[in-house]
Amino acid sequence: MTQKTYVMIKPDAVARGLVGQIVARFEATGLTIERMQHGMVTPQQAAANYVEHEGKPFYAGLVEYITSGPVVKMVLSGPSAVPVVRKLMGATNPADAAPGTIRGDFGLTLDANIIHGSDSPESAEREIAIFFG
């Protein structure tokens, strides 16, 4: 079944010049890039995307980080796109991410962990609407 998912290459990865290597991994897996945009995340988009974390101690820092520099926003599609992307990204904490995953190979810290990907088809639909209208 073809599925869509949302992926964001975060400010730390963009600043480090890793966009091409990360995008190539998705393409090599056979996922289709339906949309891709380089730009800033607005505070409104960040608030909508991280609404479930509002009120938590790390929320302000999360919004500040994701709006601190350019990101690359993408809609990817393919068979089981959500779990395929999650597997390619690796564990959220780069210290726990397996070698060969995006976070395992490029991630430095939990706070700056290179990439975001939707965790379910429902999240993908919501996030695509937030960032692509």
Q: How many domains does the chain have?
A: 1
Tell me which of 10, 86, 103, 116 is the catalytic residue: 116
Query: Does residue 116 have an active-site annotation?
Result: yes
> 38: Cβ–Cβ under 8 A, 6 or more apart, which residues?
14, 70, 71, 72, 73
Grade residue 1 by pLDDT with cuts at 50, 70 and 90: confident
CATH number at residue 31: 3.30.70.141
- Residue 127: which domain range? 2-132
Yes or no: say if 76 and 63 are a contact pair by the CB < 8 Å rule: no
Express each pLDDT in 10-63 by its tens digit: 999 999 999 999 999 999 999 999 999 999 999 999 999 999 999 999 999 999
pTM for the structure as a whole: 0.95
